[in-house]
């Protein structure tokens, strides 16, 4: 496969001239620097970009590989690096956050004000007994206090773990329990698309399920004003405990390896894993990617549309932009409320210069603009934009070109950034003032990242041949552990099949035969990507079989124009196979049940019933066959090993 025939988009001479990574010579020089002295490359930048309370003397510690340590004897504080030092540098009155609420109300927060708010929350957490190393679960909407709560944890050395506000009571319970959290931070409710949705009530349900006994306090912010129950001795209103605190709180200096956060993400088993990140190495990459990939300048208005519930919101909302002293837009709502022009309206209003969003959002806005010309990006003044970004899933060339022409006005480079919860920040991405762009390709590794495509035994395959995406050398922002499961960490990320030294991303990839550009071909494990959200098929299967009517379930993905992949579930009920209206009723029941078990994002788009699932004589479910059925393809595979070929007809859908 080669991109030879594909259209190539060059950065403008103006962009190249002013870019942090200027021209391909600039990019190659950085790669060469890392090649010659790998540790020195990262060490130099860690010294220059981060403020250390105790400087590090050692860069990479491999003594406990594959758990790698970076800058291990150095001490720092992430919140100090994001807030105090900006104030010390004279940026106290610079706007840090331009917050736009769901209803359109705008609040601007300066660095000085954010520091004061964070300090108050930090002091409140201390009053609740939170100490360095304690875990705090944050179940908050996209608000200033959501971000400030994360920073407050970092300030006192507590390890935060955000649970996305769309996750269910069960998911929240599992994470509070797995993390052994001492405190939960939440709000009464959240606004999304003009609707008021509960959060505290769901948290109460989570507690009622049991297993959260170690979590002794719940700090509740007021957002929607909805009535909530408060459990005496456990629940406290932020208005009561936060507002009265001093706005001064000394940062707690932590070792570079101190866990800044855990973030749960789906893998190929039923149980999400708590991905543990460091403080020093993580923050370094958050900053470096802001500077190199996003080419952040002091006058930029940066907007990442992610939610703090996902890693993108951690690195490119809470930490990266602030650590660089930037100004960023923070958005509470959804792209289609009050109409599908919301993003374009906000870019125009706040004069956003760097815009970072997900392909699924772009695809839905293309569709909306096609049907309603009044929300077409061309109707808005988007001339403030100079750079666009994409993240979360492959962006199809058609969506890329639409984004480039209609949003970027044909003048803004698009950085298609490939990375993962586990990698902390960008891994394979264009440098906007250097890399010639090819729609659909995330192009080349970030300077210093040693990505490769290998076969099942860990040997590199020639360009032009598909294989498994790996990273050959440890990098500062890599995952440090799966919380509480050392075995799973090794098996998932440094499997012995590949020699035990290569980081396994879990994606397939192919490099262009001519220029070595990477194209991601999708997950190679049982993980689906629905609207840029990671879902384990096993997780959804476990949820389905937890329903009393269900005997067995198998879940697969099928390509979807809007969401990238869609969830298709094949279900065997304990009773007889339902048809017609009965089937419709059961489908709704099961779908709602999955929504309650995991969250609405896990609801299958399609549920089909069979008397059995297609299995080999040894009882193994033939997933490949199910994938064909899900797509509506004729089954061309060999079904001779199938015990029960007649059920294929039932599952056709
Ligand atoms: C998986 C990671 C990265 C933060 C948001 C998602 C897919 C991510 C791209 C891209 C193709 C991509 C991969 C990856 N993915 N970005 N630019 N091109 N695929 O983080 O939930 O940890 O998911 O998302 O499959 O493994 P995540």
Predicted confidence (pLDDT) per residue in 342-363, tens digit? 999 999 999 999 999 999 999 9
Q: Atom of ligand 1 at shortest distance to CA of 506?
A: 26
Mean pLDDT score, 446-469:
98
Predicted interface score ipTM higher than 0.95? yes
Please report whether residue 590 resides in a domain.
yes
Cα–Cα distance measured from residue 324 to residue 288, given in angstroms and rounded to the nearest whole number: 9
Judged against a pLDDT cut of 60, whether residue 520 lies above it is answered with yes
Give the pLDDT confidence score for residue 4 in this predicted structure.
Answer: 55
Does residue 266 belong to any structural domain of this protein? no
Domain membership flag for residue 576? yes
Residue 237's H or E segment, with its range, is strand 235-237
**9-18 tens-digit pLDDT:** 999 999 999 9
Q: 51 with 80: CB under 8 angstroms?
A: yes
Is 18 part of a structural domain of the chain?
no
**pLDDT tens digits along 550-565:** 999 999 999 999 999 9
**Mutate-to-test residue for ligand 1 from 520, 564, 601, highest number of ligand atoms within 8 A of CB:** 520
| Mean pLDDT of all residues in 501-529 | 96
pLDDT at 616: 81
> Is residue 453 in some structural domain?
no
Question: Is the separation of the CB atoms in 61 and 43 below 8 Å?
Answer: no
**Each residue of 103-159: pLDDT tens digit?**
999 999 999 999 999 999 999 999 999 999 999 999 999 999 999 999 999 999 999
Give yes or no for residue 393 CB within 6 A of ligand 1.
Answer: yes
Question: What Cα–Cα distance (Å) separates residue 598 from each residue in 178, 186, 240, 538, 617?
Answer: 15, 18, 32, 12, 33
SS (H, E, C) 477-497: CCCCEECCCHHHHHHHHCCHH
How many angstroms is it from 382 CA to the middle of ligand 1?
A: 27
* Mean pLDDT value of segment 201-212: 98
Residue 645 has a pLDDT of 78
Give the pLDDT of residue 3.
54
Average pLDDT, the chain: 96
Distance from the CA of 529 to the center of ligand 1, in angstroms?
Answer: 8
Q: Residue 468 to residues 385, 389, 443, 498, 603: CA-CA distances in angstroms?
A: 36, 25, 16, 10, 29
Res 1: pLDDT: 52
CB distance 520 to ligand 1 below 6 Å: yes
Question: In the chain, how long is the greatest CA-to-CA distance?
Answer: 73
Residue among 596, 548, 599, 601 nearest 571 (CA)? 548
Query: How much of the chain exceeds pLDDT 70, in percent?
Result: 99
Atom of ligand 1 nearest to the CA of 522: 25
- Domain assignment present for residue 609? The answer is yes
In a domain, 289, yes or no: no
| Residue-range definition of the domain harbouring residue 630 | 531-651
Q: 91 falls in which pLDDT band (50, 70, 90)?
A: very high
Residue nearest to atom 24 of ligand 1 (CA): 392
For ligand 1, atom 19, the nearest C-alpha belongs to: 393
pTM above 0.90, yes or no: yes
Question: Nearest residue CA, atom 20 of ligand 1?
Answer: 420
Give 646 or 292, the one with higher predicted confidence.
292
Q: How many domains does the chain have?
A: 1
pLDDT in tens, 262-275: 999 999 888 999 99
The pLDDT of residue 2 is above 70: no
Residue 628 binned pLDDT confidence (cut-offs 50, 70, 90): very high
The angle, 0 to 180 degrees and rounded to 10, between the axes of the packed helices 169-179 and 200-208 is: 60
| CATH number where 615 lies | 3.30.300.30
Residue 569 counted as domain residue: yes
- Taking CA atoms only, the protein residue closest to ligand 1 atom 2 is 420
Q: Report CA(413)–ligand 1 centroid distance (Å).
A: 20
The C-alpha atoms of residue 274 and residue 483 are separated, in whole angstroms, by 5
CA within 13 Å, CB half, 251: 23
Note the pLDDT of residue 641. 73
Task: Give the pLDDT confidence score for residue 638 in this predicted structure.
Answer: 74
Pairing type for strands 75-76 and 69-70 reads: unpaired
Q: Identify the band that residue 5 occupies on the pLDDT scale cut at 50, 70 and 90.
A: low
Ligand 1 contact via 523 beta carbon (within 6 Å): yes
Which pLDDT belongs to residue 280? Answer: 98
Report percent pLDDT > 90 for the chain: 94
């Amino acid at each position: 496969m080669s991109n030879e025939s594909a259209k190539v988009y060059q950065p403008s001479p103006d962009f190249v001239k002013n870019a942090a990574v200027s021209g391909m010579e600039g990019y190659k020089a950085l790669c060469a620097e890392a090649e010659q002295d790998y540790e020195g490359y990262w060490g130099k930048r860690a010294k220059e970009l981060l403020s250390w309370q105790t400087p590090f003397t050692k860069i990479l510690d491999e003594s406990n590989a594959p758990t790698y340590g970076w800058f291990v004897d150095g001490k720092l504080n992430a919140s100090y690096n994001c807030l105090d030092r900006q104030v010390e540098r004279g940026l106290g009155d610079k706007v840090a956050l331009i917050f736009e609420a769901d209803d359109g109300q705008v609040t601007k927060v300066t660095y000085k004000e954010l520091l004061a708010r964070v300090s108050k929350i930090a002091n409140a957490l201390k009053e609740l007994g939170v100490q360095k190393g304690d875990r705090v679960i944050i179940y908050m909407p996209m608000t200033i206090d959501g971000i400030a709560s994360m920073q407050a944890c970092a300030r006192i050395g507590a390890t935060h773990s955000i649970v996305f506000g769309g996750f269910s009571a069960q998911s929240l319970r599992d994470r509070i329990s797995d993390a052994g959290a001492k405190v939960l931070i939440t709000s009464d409710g959240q606004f999304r698309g003009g609707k008021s949705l509960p959060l505290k009530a769901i948290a109460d349900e989570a507690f009622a399920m049991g297993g959260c006994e170690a979590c002794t306090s719940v700090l509740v912010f007021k957002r929607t004003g909805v009535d909530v129950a408060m459990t005496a001795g456990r629940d406290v209103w932020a208005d009561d405990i936060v507002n009265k605190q001093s706005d001064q709180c000394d940062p707690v200096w932590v070792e570079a390896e101190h866990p800044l956060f855990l973030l749960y993400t789906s893998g190929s088993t039923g149980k999400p894993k708590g991905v543990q990140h460091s403080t020093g190495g993580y923050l370094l990459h958050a900053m470096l990617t802001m500077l190199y990939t996003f080419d952040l300048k002091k006058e930029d208005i940066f907007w990442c549309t992610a939610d703090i519930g996902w890693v993108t919101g951690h690195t490119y909302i809470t930490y990266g932009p602030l650590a660089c002293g930037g100004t960023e837009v923070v958005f509470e709502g959804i792209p289609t409320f009050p109409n599908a022009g919301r993003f374009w309206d906000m870019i125009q209003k706040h004069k956003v210069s760097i815009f970072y969003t997900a392909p699924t959002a772009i695809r839905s806005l293309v569709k909306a603009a096609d049907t309603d010309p009044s929300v077409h990006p061309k109707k808005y003044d988007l001339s403030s934009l100079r750079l666009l970004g994409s993240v979360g899933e492959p962006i199809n060339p058609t969506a890329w070109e639409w984004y480039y022409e209609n949003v970027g006005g044909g003048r803004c480079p698009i950085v298609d950034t490939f990375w993962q919860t586990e990698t902390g920040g960008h891994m394979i991405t264009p440098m906007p003032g250097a890399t010639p762009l090819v729609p659909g390709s995330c192009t080349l590794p970030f300077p210093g990242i040693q990505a490769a495509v290998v076969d099942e035994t860990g040997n590199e395959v020639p360009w032009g041949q598909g294989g498994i995406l790996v990273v050959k050398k440890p990098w500062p922002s890599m995952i440090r552990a799966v919380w509480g499961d050392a075995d799973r960490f090794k098996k998932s990320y440094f499997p012995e099949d590949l020699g035990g030294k290569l980081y396994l991303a879990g994606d397939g990839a192919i490099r262009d035969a001519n220029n070595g550009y990477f194209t991601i071909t999708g997950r190679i494990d049982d993980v689906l990507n629905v609207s840029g959200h990671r879902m384990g098929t096993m997780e959804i299967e476990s949820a389905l079989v937890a329903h009393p009517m269900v005997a067995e379930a198998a879940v697969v993905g099928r390509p979807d124009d809007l969401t990238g992949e869609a969830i298709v579930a094949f279900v065997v009920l304990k009773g007889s196979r339902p048809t017609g209206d009965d089937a419709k009723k059961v489908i709704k029941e099961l779908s709602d049940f999955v929504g309650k078990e995991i969250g609405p994002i896990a609801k299958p788009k399609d549920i089909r019933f069979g008397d059995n699932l297609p299995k080999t004589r040894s009882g193994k479910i033939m997933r490949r066959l199910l994938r064909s059925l899900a797509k509506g393809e004729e089954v061309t595979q060999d079904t001779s090993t199938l015990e029960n070929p007649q059920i294929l007809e039932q599952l056709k859908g």
